């Protein structure tokens, strides 16, 4: 049942935050609805969930259109030619990982005359199967983003490797937080950390996640 799953996720987020002296209100739950339909989204909305994540433009289009008043987060790999379908319907893009995509986002934002909020996705594990910028390239990339006046960088996003024991994901989350601390500067603060999924979100919250992206723990 979604309602029970939701209560459990909220209580897990709360206890993980309290464990390290954080305010649980500073952790936003993003319900990842990529595996479910509009009925489940509606149900989640009635439970009070306001933020939803999708990772495929086409598959999500109908759902996203049906619920224009909630916040939609784009969390998947984004092809530049799909940017026109993502803006303005998504309020936050979690997966900026290359300048060609920044170019596409900037020009779409210009034509809409609005800003675009993004996370820079970092590949902290170095796994070849994962998207994201290598950590060594982050400082130069952030510097370049300064010149994109319509792109507002909210922070950093990562996906930890899939591990059996979530404790093993901790170093990757910690590393992302260290990168955020190191590269935040006046005019380019990086207040947010988008990290943690069903398998590892409690560890991510302990390590400073401000947004957790959760699918299966909610929807099965
Ligand atoms: C699917 C997905 C999630 C949610 O994964 P669960 O393990 O089902 O919680 C989070 N982030 C991204 C980028 C995803 O693609």
Q: How many CB atoms lie within 10 A of CB 78?
A: 27
For the four alpha carbons of 149, 97, 202 and 173, in that order, the dihedral sign comes to negative
Question: pLDDT tens-digit profile of 132-142?
Answer: 999 999 999 99
Distance between CA atoms of residues 210 and 40, nearest Å: 24
Ligand 1 site, residue 214, Cβ cutoff 6 A: yes
Question: pLDDT tens-digit profile of 15-72?
Answer: 999 999 999 999 999 999 999 999 999 999 999 999 999 999 999 999 999 999 999 9
Give me the percent of the chain exceeding a pLDDT of 90.
Answer: 95
pTM of the model: 0.97
Contact predicate 219/1, CB 8 Å: no
Q: What are phi and psi of 155, to 5 degrees?
A: 165, -155
Using pLDDT thresholds of 50, 70 and 90, give the confidence band for residue 211: very high
- Which numbered atom of ligand 1 lies nearest the CA of 76? 13
Would you state the pLDDT for residue 62? 96
Ligand 1 site, residue 198, Cβ cutoff 6 A: yes
- Which numbered atom of ligand 1 lies nearest the CA of 217? 9
Strand residues in 38-124 grouped as ranges (E): 51-54, 71-74, 92-96, 116-121
Sorted by where each starts, the structural domains of the chain and their CATH numbers stand as 2-219 (3.20.20.10)
Contact predicate 154/119, CB 8 Å: yes
Structure token pair of residue 16: 């993980």
Ligand 1 site, residue 14, Cβ cutoff 6 A: no
Structure token pair of residue 54: 């999708």
Quick one: how far is CA 166 from the chain centroid? 19
Ligand 1 site, residue 197, Cβ cutoff 6 A: yes
Per the listing, tokens 């290359």 go with 98
Kindly report the protein residue whose alpha carbon is nearest to atom 10 of ligand 1: 213
């Amino acid at each position: 049942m979604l309602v029970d799953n939701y209560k459990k996720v909220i209580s897990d987020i709360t206890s993980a935050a309290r464990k390290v002296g954080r305010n649980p209100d500073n952790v936003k739950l993003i319900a990842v609805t990529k595996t479910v339909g509009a009925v489940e989204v509606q149900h989640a909305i009635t439970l009070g969930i306001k933020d939803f994540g999708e990772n495929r433009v086409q598959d999500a289009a109908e759902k996203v259109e049906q619920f224009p008043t909630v916040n939609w987060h784009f969390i998947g790999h984004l092809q530049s030619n799909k940017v026109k379908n993502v803006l303005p319907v998504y309020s936050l893009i979690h997966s900026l990982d290359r300048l060609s995509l920044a170019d596409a986002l900037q020009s779409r934002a210009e034509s809409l005359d609005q800003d675009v909020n993004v996370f820079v996705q970092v590949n902290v594990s170095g796994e070849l199967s994962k998207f994201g910028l290598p950590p060594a390239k982050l400082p130069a990339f952030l510097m370049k983003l300064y010149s994109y006046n319509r792109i507002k960088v909210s922070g950093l996003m990562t996906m930890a490797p899939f591990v059996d024991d979530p404790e093993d994901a901790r170093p990757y989350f910690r590393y992302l937080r260290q990168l955020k601390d190191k590269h935040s500067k006046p005019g380019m603060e990086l207040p947010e950390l988008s990290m943690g999924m069903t398998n590892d979100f409690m560890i991510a919250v302990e390590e400073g996640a401000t947004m957790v992206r959760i699918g299966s723990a909610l929807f099965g």
